[in-house]
Amino acid sequence: MQRDVYNPLLFEIAWEVANKVGGIYTVIKTKVPVTVQEYGDRYCLIGPLSYKSAPMEVERLEPPPGIIRDTLEEMASRGVKYLFGRWLIEGVPFVILFDTASCQHRLDEWKGDLWRSTGIPSPPGDQETNEAILFGYLVTWFLGEIAQKYNQDHDQSGSASPAIIAHFHEWLAGVALPLIKQRRIDLTTIFTTHATLLGRYLCAGSVDFYNNLEHFDVDAEAGKRGIYHRYCIERAAAHCADVFTTVSHITAYESEHLLKRKPDGVLPNGLNVIKFQAIHEFQIKHANSKQKINDFVRGHFYGHYDFDLEDTVYFFTAGRYEYRNKGIDLYVEALARLNDRLKAAKSKTTVVAFLILPGTTHSFNVEALKGQAVTKQLRATVDEIQDRIGKRIYEKALRGEEIEAKDYLLEEDKVLLKRRVFALKRHDLPPIITHNLTDDGSDPVMNQLRRLQMFNNHHDRVKVIFHPEFLNANNPLLGLDYEDFVRGCHLGVFPSYYEPWGYTPAECTVMGVPSITTNLSGFGCFMEENIENCEDYGIYIVDRRLKSVEESISQLSEQMFRFCQKTRRQRINQRNRTERLSDLLDWKRMGLEYIKARQLSLRRAYPDSFVDDDDDLDDILGNGKPVKIPRPISAPASPRLRQLMNGSSSGYFEEEEDDAHPIPIPHKKPFPALHQKGVEVNVTDELLREGDIETLTRLTLEEKKK
């Protein structure tokens, strides 16, 4: 059948369209601008209607005249409620949100049909699955009507109707896929899994997951965990899609064994990267955010005891509270060992380690609130006294009188200041948690901190602050949004055991903050594939694949210890290098893989509609080995050498100083570039295109020597 494959319609279906639940919301939202740039108004997102979030996310509009409006009106006449409009994000795409509750009366009918047509069971007590079934049938209904109307319309006119691509994300949106296949609806489909259900459950259950992937009885394991019906939906979606993809190679390996289909390709997650005009701008942002964290730390610790904030580094971990999957257990254990190592080395460096994990709380910790309150009160008093002293000096100077030290601080000022200082003094230890948990006794992080006796003692070099709530600027304790908090920290630590992608370390990279991840995370694997030596660029990777837990903890504590030994200048250099990697994660680059997936789905569904037939389907989403980014070349330590190489004493090389270790210059290792087969590539030209001025200068010097 002939279809217009050069101007297709694209519908992207996900549970988190204009409805923030987890990380897929970020994936969809940040990817929209590049997709709109390619498709314009031929692109539309579909999701469930949440009356809580939709009014803030979507501008309601009347559907434009045409087939989509006719279809929605027909569905509305049969009781379906929906919201059509523009999603208020960059790119402002069209969006259709279906109210699943408006079809609740058809749930039993549709569950029966799902069982008869696909063999997928659905127990009565699972509300989330019920919602997914209702949503799946509404999407199938809508897409079926759209495809039929377009075909009828163009059959009458004699022209080819536009091809329709439906891209589904995760099992919650996947019910429609087996239905589309069974009903033979004329469109092409893509299914992307961002994690597998069974993989997440197995990893959380202390199973040696990756070494036993080939041996799991998947049906039995899903049944034991009460998720067999969900697993069936996910597996059916993977098998019924024309193109099946995952977000990383580690998840592709997992999906091949758990879902029993080898993915056709990998679609890594990207971010919208905002580049600064000058490299010092993000360093200024770091300094400003760090100052706000300093204020919080003063309120939390000062009064109990104090330490030098100029020799303090901030570590953090953040994300869903999945104690084992997110590697929180590893992080806390490694912090305890780091504490012992710093004390043994008689280091003066203090580490303040944050854990930003949403838990069940009922109130703020009174001691934590009191510390912030008295510190702010002291700050206000000092400002008031400072203002009064300034006025006195000004008045005496106007009169030409001699200014003496006793005129600065009056007795009443001293009394007021002493009262504030005495109010600040506390004799117990600083709290390790900022909130009161509902069930403190069964909280895994609190129990581990107690077992390791990490109580923020004065002699401890590692201080711990557990903040069991997501951050926002209105927080009375740590009044920072998450992004500003990340910018103010020195190192993000994410030693995950199960992490299909890993947005948190990716966000750190874009903001120029070094991070620790693992070779079991999609992000960690991606960086290993694309960078010659990740650690030089501020990406530390813990081996959790081949090493034992004990060895992984030792490696993590060693990486954190080495970071603590860096000078301030070395940390600045490393942040500069980390921020340079942000282009690797930009959707302008990552979005190319989505383009390939859509092209593959069109060629599989409508091979006769393409003018050319030269492309090998297997190569469209090929996994060719990427050319790695070489290790960074540090600037020469001598200003004389710097002038010889650069022609002046300022410019690019001023951004970096020589690190403590020599870094060999890579030979013939150009930056990633699109090399055409049969075209001879000049290394120097290629490096110049990629802007590696340092390497180009070195090559020039070598050429002159020859």
- Give the pLDDT means over successive 10-residue stretches in the chain (706 positions): 89 95 91 96 97 94 95 97 97 97 96 96 93 98 96 76 96 98 96 96 88 93 95 98 97 96 96 71 88 94 91 96 95 98 96 96 91 86 85 82 74 81 84 95 96 96 96 90 95 96 94 96 94 93 94 98 96 92 92 96 92 60 61 46 38 40 35 37 39 47 54
Same domain, 212 and 76: yes
Residue 664: what pLDDT?
38
Residue 182: what pLDDT?
96
- The closest of 588, 461, 564 to 514, measured between CA atoms, is 564
Helix (H) or strand (E) holding 516: strand 515-518
- Please give the Cα distance from 492 to 500 (Å, whole number): 18
Residue 687: what pLDDT?
36
| Residue 590 belongs to some domain of the structure | no
Q: Quick one: tokens of 242?
A: 């024309």
Residue 698: what pLDDT?
54
Same domain, 574 and 460: yes
- Please give the Cα distance from 488 to 465 (Å, whole number): 15
Same domain, 474 and 497: yes
| Residue 501 belongs to some domain of the structure | yes
Q: Quick one: tokens of 491?
A: 């190192």
- The closest of 17, 12, 10 to 168, measured between CA atoms, is 12
Residue type, 426: R
Query: Can you give the pTM of this predicted structure?
Result: 0.83
Burial of 473 (0-12, 13-18, 19+ CB in 10 A): exposed
Same domain, 288 and 412: no
- The closest of 162, 229, 225, 196 to 7, measured between CA atoms, is 162
Provide the strand spans (E) within 197-293. 243-246, 265-266
| Residue 671 belongs to some domain of the structure | yes
| Residue 179 belongs to some domain of the structure | yes
Domain end marker among 376, 408, 430: 430
Same domain, 444 and 533: yes
Residue 565: what pLDDT?
96
Residue 679 lies in domain: 633-706
Bridge partners of 354?
316, 465
Residue 646: what pLDDT?
42
Same domain, 105 and 172: yes
Contact yes or no for 52/81 (Cβ under 8 A) = no
Helix (H) or strand (E) holding 352: strand 350-356
- Please give the Cα distance from 49 to 81 (Å, whole number): 9
| Residue 609 belongs to some domain of the structure | no
Same domain, 704 and 661: yes
- The closest of 488, 524, 520, 529 to 504, measured between CA atoms, is 524
Domain end marker among 266, 289, 306: 266
Same domain, 393 and 357: no
How many CB atoms neighbour CB 673 within 10 A?
Answer: 12
Contact yes or no for 609/4 (Cβ under 8 A) = yes
- Strands 361-364 and 435-437 turn out to be antiparallel
Residue 1: what pLDDT?
63
- Please give the Cα distance from 530 to 370 (Å, whole number): 48
Same domain, 398 and 253: no
| Residue 615 belongs to some domain of the structure | no
| Residue 617 belongs to some domain of the structure | no
Same domain, 142 and 214: yes
Q: Quick one: tokens of 295?
A: 């204020």
Burial of 422 (0-12, 13-18, 19+ CB in 10 A): exposed
Phi/psi of residue 600, nearest 5 degrees: -65, -40
Number of domains observed in the structure of the chain: 4
Q: Quick one: tokens of 700?
A: 């020039």
Condensed to tens digits (0 to 9), the pLDDT of residues 20-31 reads 888 899 999 999
Domain end marker among 396, 430, 464: 430
- The closest of 165, 190, 194 to 177, measured between CA atoms, is 190
CATH number at residue 325: 3.40.50.2000
Same domain, 220 and 337: no
Contact yes or no for 227/201 (Cβ under 8 A) = yes
Contact yes or no for 276/282 (Cβ under 8 A) = yes
Q: Look at the block and give the residue holding tokens 């802007």.
A: 691
Same domain, 401 and 300: no
Helix (H) or strand (E) holding 383: helix 366-399
| Residue 608 belongs to some domain of the structure | no
Bridge partners of 352?
314, 463
